[in-house]
A and B are shown apart, each in its own frame.
Chain A
């Protein structure tokens, strides 16, 4: 590990705490910074540092294995432990890397979308949201999870509402999200209360041990599990509980949409994995049944319904939002399979989908930035007016559909193989059908962009007007990553698949 030696040892040692505390502190400072560009630079540098630290943590995890950091020197179970393991480390890196790309994109986008005096608080809220997500993922303490969940959620409500400068509907969307998100968080904390009642501890590892001793525990543990699954389901936009998502994605400032789409639901999904497999255990009968019937049921229904709904949307932002709901279905299906291959495929799709949707939403933001368009019919001729942006959009769209040599293909094939291994051919059929639906809803957009003629503005054909470099760079980084994962360039594909398999091993290994 040559790379690892480049990181100072104290950073690796205290990295798990550093990646939460730095954005939290700097968030507070950023909110009072007088200059907009200073605020941007602060936030940007923070995300870069956190990303580097996360990268160091991943490297360290790969060489040293799981590390538990005792917050403030108080050892768990009494103190709070921060856990960096094969499950959390990749998600940490994903969230922080997406934060950097979002910040790069956000420099021009924020100028266009947020009022000047609100920009410094905007970046501050972004950092808080970022800190909350990182905290949710890294902490090993159940109540701490709730705290960070609320930190990220509350800042997200504010961020979504800031879209009001662009579209007043952002306010109702944010209100909806606030109500729903709070219900979700409440359910989650009620579940935690029951769990505390049953086990008498808040440390997750401890809970798992005690629950295993109790052989799944009494009815209280079952109720706790129900509350936690539904609460998290709301946060991760599980199918009938997804109603907050399209509005929030569509009307938030584009930078927020990008970050939410690629990280927020992913962090919640991560928590679902954590609780289902490492705190509870699918070998408890009630956990196994709920996973098998509820998660797969809503996953499959969601895949089909949300895909159909995406087809009929006129606004591309909403098409992509419904597509996100459908993609969550794939991940739930992977979790529901509860085999090593299925979990790995679900986890891989979690990572890949963040890359894909991030790229799509960045390109979409660039279209709005240049031409103020979001409707499908306005995409006519975009391949001529913004060829590079449309190129990145196309690559990511193909990846979303699952064309060979792209990231989407790898995870969908793995998922289908996992389902087939279990003999669930109907699930393979559902994957194929929803992929065809994805061809329709993305193809509709691509067709209009490539085969339509550029519209006339005041009697002149619209001229070529490429997105600024600050937007092109992050969208192409993600588009190229999509291809690199799919074609295993720079071994990226192997690394992603390897990370997913390691995570799946950890999930299945602990409770058994």
Chain B
């Protein structure tokens, strides 16, 4: 009846998530969490040959919804999400939590289905589903994460509403065609769509939810969250706004500003959230450039980013699990007790910093080269600065303060086996995707990219240049540290743009509140009499003790009936006169 190959693979994962919500048995749930992404990947493989596949067209309420569209661009995201799903599943094997399991699956499925949706309305549905299902992961972080979760949800729902509004404006203008292709800012509703995607993608000034919610989520929650939401938004940007010049500058700013915050931040999971923001900047910039090389770079870097950023979050999660904190000021010297975690964290750090033979080296450089080819000097300089900054805060700071630095005296157990397995696999991928010369190395990664690749990362120029950059950054760190100039780990919260709404906004709200109190003193009499009376009246009329509910004597009812008849006859009489 229904062709199984016409079904969006994400829906299978969502289905598994719904089943998980009702499964009381943890081992079966874990098996589902692990197998659902694998099954989805198999389905993608079955569905997608070499040509673009469009299917699953559903007509509902007079509109056609294209629920399945796989082409070279969405395919790479699809496989990536499945891969991340498997890694996250392994990482979370130790945790017996029904809510995490099912929301992780629904969330992942929604992201996957969103990537494969062929029109803006289907995209909207999964966009919102991803937001709603993922907020539970934030809330699993404990009591203190509740407010963050609410803010996270509010911002994402806002993003969804903007997306829907933009989609409607856009679809109307195109004569009811909601197909999600290249939109461009010139199209009606383009700005709405861009802002909607920008919120989810962490554009400057719209980014605070990342640093607000991610560090507060549960250990596995952070890892899961880091993989999907922003990447879904990136996909949408790549699909809709490739080659928009404004994105180059937005992306460049995005790479730079988190560096400063990340360097002074104390909570290492927050450092990684800033670093996530910074990596997204590279990709947004690449989308803005929009040449085939840049788009290849974006697609390749998104793969690398999900893996190494996941790896870093995983290692911090392992530390959090064993020590109960990720504050730089309270950690240090953990390499003695957690040697494997240290090793994997270093591989992740090296990857994000783009050491040769580690993944970002073969991916990020494509975006930089594309910027160079287009002679975009200012953005290129900003990207280079940010690359050095990445080395500073993610490449050195995170592992240094956690595992080395001064000994905190903590002697804890090594991370559990499943976490080590997940981190090990991710590390392996970081290395494999950067191997030169062999067919399963970076060439495999390149063969999956949307455009033909004619790019060779391992040229002497590039290797030497990159090493110079990295060693300069390391030297700078060492010198600053030596002379005590490096911002030391302080127990402090830093203030970002969210100050405007958390502090300034609160201040304004308080001021308004105070003014309102004064004003209301004056109008209390008026207001009270009006609202209270209205409420009282409603209650008096409609409540069970009220006038309307009095057991009407049948005599009165009979009179009413006669009255109705009179009205009916009068109406007819008047019309006939």
Contacts and interface: CB of A to CB of B under 8 A. Distances in A.
Given A233-B564, A241-B560, A312 B575 contact: no
A225 B542 contact: no
B544 A179 contact: no
A285 B576 contact: yes
Contacts of B567: 294
Given A172-B551, A311-B542, A315-B544, A294 B560 contact: no
Given A179-B557, A233-B564, A286-B576, A313 B571 contact: no
A247 interface: yes
The interface centre, meaning the residue of B538, B552, B561 with most chain A CB atoms within 10 A of its CB, is B561
B568 A290 contact: yes
Contact of B571 (A179, A233, A246, A294): A294
A506 B142 CA distance: 61
A241 B572 contact: no
A222 B549 CA distance: 34
A42 B131 CA distance: 55
B457 to A, nearest CB: 50
Contacts of B554: 175-176, 179-180
B557 A289 contact: no
Given A243-B552, A315-B544, A230 B564 contact: yes
Nearest to B565: A230
The interface centre, meaning the residue of B558, B564, B576 with most chain A CB atoms within 10 A of its CB, is B564
A179 B569 CA distance: 23
A183 B576 CA distance: 27
Interface in B537-577: 538-539, 541-544, 546, 548-549, 551-552, 554, 557-558, 560-561, 563-565, 567-569, 571-573, 575-576
Nearest to A225: B572
A176 B542 contact: no
A441 B541 CA distance: 16
A415 B129 CA distance: 29
B561 A234 contact: yes
B568 A229 contact: yes
Contacts of B61: 413
Contacts of A289: 571-572, 575
Given A179-B557, A179-B558, A314-B544, A187 B565 contact: yes
A172 to B, nearest CB: 7
Nearest to A219: B576
Interface of B, secondary structure class, is helix
A293 B564 contact: no
Interface string B525-539: 000000000000011
Contacts of A180: 554, 557-558, 561
Contacts of B543: 312-313
A469 B79 CA distance: 46
B439 to A, nearest CB: 48
Nearest to A228: B568
A309 B548 contact: yes
A413 B60 CA distance: 13
Given A187-B565, A289-B575, A244 B546 contact: no
Nearest to B543: A312
Contacts of A175: 554
A349 interface: no
A184 interface: yes
A230 to B, nearest CB: 5
A240 B558 contact: no
A289 B572 CA distance: 7
Contact of B544 (A184, A227, A312): A312
B561 A184 contact: yes
A147 to B, nearest CB: 22
B564 to A, nearest CB: 5
Contacts of A226: 565, 568-569, 572
A187 B561 CA distance: 9
A172 B557 CA distance: 14
Size bracket, chain A contacts:
35 or more
Interface in A215-229: 219, 222-223, 225-227, 229
A233 B565 CA distance: 10
Contact of A308 (B538, B557, B561): B538
A348 to B, nearest CB: 15
A30 B8 CA distance: 56
B568 A312 contact: no
A222 B576 contact: yes
Nearest to B569: A226
Contacts of A247: 551
A223 B576 CA distance: 12
A312 B539 contact: yes
B548 A305 contact: yes
Nearest to B554: A179
B557 A244 contact: yes
Contacts of A311: 542
Contacts of A315: 544
The interface centre, meaning the residue of A176, A180, A243 with most chain B CB atoms within 10 A of its CB, is A243
A412 interface: no
A353 interface: no
Contacts of B544: 312-315, 318
B547 to A, nearest CB: 11
Contacts of B569: 222-223, 226
Contact of A227 (B541, B551, B565): B565
Contacts of A312: 538-539, 542-544, 546
A246 B542 CA distance: 13
A318 B567 CA distance: 29
A167 to B, nearest CB: 14
Interface in A153-177: 172, 175-176
A293 B568 CA distance: 9
Interface string B498-542: 000000000000000000000000000000000000000011011
Contact of B572 (A172, A184, A234, A286): A286
A240 B561 CA distance: 8
A222 B574 CA distance: 12
A241 B552 CA distance: 10
Given A183-B557, A184-B561, 13 more contacts: A176-B557, A179-B558, A187-B561, A219-B576, A222-B572, A223-B569, A227-B565, A244-B557, A247-B551, A290-B568, A293-B571, A308-B541, A313-B543
9 contacts: A179-B557, A180-B561, A222-B576, A226-B568, A230-B568, A243-B557, A289-B572, A312-B543, A312-B544
Top 6 closest pairs, chain A to chain B, by CB: A179-B554, A286-B572, A312-B543, A226-B568, A289-B575, A243-B552
Interface of B: 61, 538-539, 541-544, 546, 548-549, 551-552, 554, 557-558, 560-561, 563-565, 567-569, 571-573, 575-576
